[in-house]
């Protein structure tokens, strides 16, 4: 899949066209358990520069030890506005570009944003997974849409996130006393295996280690992009 991902045309899609594209592409997302054999997990994150540019980074880790194996990043101009629900059209190009620089071929990629827990069931993680044809999991710090019962305050508590009556993800308390995170499957993943993977990625902080380190890395790259 490449010509119809909405980002390889001569011009970028308008918000209206992007929405139509999501409705079409959502039908190609596969909901199934993550691979039984995972050896490498990756995480992507990005940061915006004041110059209308952004830096995307992808880190690869061994699984389940989570030792850093490789880092790749790209810097490029931002070409799509931020519109709630259309985040992937803004970040996907940079994420896939950074991913292609990786020498390792991750078994699964963690994305900083929603997957299925999206108005049209096509969040960033779904779009990235479809374009790369790779299992992906969405892990967001805030809710975009959906409803759920209150989540217990203890580490490990979770509530199903539903949209129009359908389960689309989990609201998960990764650490006691902190705000919960939103986990939803991207491509070639499902609710249970996605949450299981994320749970096993949590160490001492609220954000799963791979994404936390990806964030630290991109923040570092940004700092050095100012002084040089």
133 marked as part of a ligand binding site: no
Looking at the chain, how many residues does it have? Answer: 228
185 lines the binding site for DNA (CB under 7 A): no
Q: How far is the CB of 178 from DNA (least distance, A)?
A: 12
| Total binding residues toward DNA, as defined by CB under 7 A | 26
Which of 35, 81 has the CB closer to DNA? 81
Binding segment toward DNA, per CB under 7 A, in 2-10, 30-38, 57-65, 107-115: 107-115
Closest by CA to 218, choosing from 106, 61, 58, 50, is 58
164 lines the binding site for DNA (CB under 7 A): no
Binds DNA by CB under 7 A, chosen from 140, 161, 214, 221 = 140
Q: Which tokens hold the place of 92?
A: 């996907």
Binds DNA by CB under 7 A, chosen from 143, 155, 175, 200 = 143
Q: How far is the CB of 89 from DNA (least distance, A)?
A: 8
Q: How far is the CB of 94 from DNA (least distance, A)?
A: 11
5 lines the binding site for DNA (CB under 7 A): no
141 lines the binding site for DNA (CB under 7 A): yes
Q: How far is the CB of 107 from DNA (least distance, A)?
A: 22
DSSP assignments along 151-168, one per residue: PPSSTT-EEEEEETTEEE
Binding segment toward DNA, per CB under 7 A, in 26-34, 65-73, 142-150, 190-198: 142-150
Q: Cα(175)–Cα(155) distance, rounded to whole angstroms?
A: 4
149 marked as part of a ligand binding site: no
Preceding amide of 129 cis, omega within 30 = no
Q: How far is the CB of 166 from DNA (least distance, A)?
A: 17
Q: Cα(73)–Cα(77) distance, rounded to whole angstroms?
A: 14
Binds DNA by CB under 7 A, chosen from 121, 158, 187, 222 = 222
DSSP assignments along 126-192, one per residue: HHHHHHHT--EEEEESS--S-B-PPPPSSTT-EEEEEETTEEEEEEE--STTSPPEEEEE-SSB-HH
Asked if 128 and 160 touch (Cβ cutoff 8 Å), the reply is: no
Measured CA angle at 215 (ends 218, 101), to 5 deg: 55
Asked if 206 and 178 touch (Cβ cutoff 8 Å), the reply is: yes
From the annotation, which residues make up the binding site for Mg(2+)?
45, 112
Interface residues toward DNA, by CB under 7 A? 45-48, 50, 82, 84-88, 112-114, 118, 123-124, 138, 140-145, 219, 222
């Amino acid at each position: 899949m490449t010509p119809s991902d909405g980002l390889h045309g001569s011009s970028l899609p308008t918000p209206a066209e992007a929405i139509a594209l999501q409705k079409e592409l959502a039908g190609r997302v596969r909901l199934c358990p993550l691979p039984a054999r995972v050896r490498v997990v990756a995480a992507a994150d990005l940061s915006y520069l004041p110059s209308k540019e952004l830096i995307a980074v992808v880190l690869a880790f061994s699984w389940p030890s989570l030792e850093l194996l490789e880092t790749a990043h790209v810097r490029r101009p931002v070409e799509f506005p931020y519109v709630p629900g259309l985040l992937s059209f803004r970040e996907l190009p940079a994420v896939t570009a950074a991913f292609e620089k990786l020498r390792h071929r991750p078994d699964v990629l963690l994305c900083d944003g929603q997957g299925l827990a999206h108005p049209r069931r096509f969040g960033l993680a779904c779009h990235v997974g479809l374009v790369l044809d790779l299992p992906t999991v969405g892990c967001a710090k805030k809710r975009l849409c959906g409803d759920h019962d209150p989540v217990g305050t203890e580490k490990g508590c979770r509530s199903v996130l539903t949209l129009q009556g359908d389960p689309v993800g989990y609201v998960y308390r990764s650490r006691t006393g902190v705000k919960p995170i939103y986990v939803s499957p991207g491509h070639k993943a499902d609710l249970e295996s996605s949450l299981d993977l994320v749970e096993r990625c949590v160490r001492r902080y609220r954000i799963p280690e791979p994404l936390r380190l990806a964030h630290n890395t991109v923040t570092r790259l940004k700092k050095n992009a100012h002084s040089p």
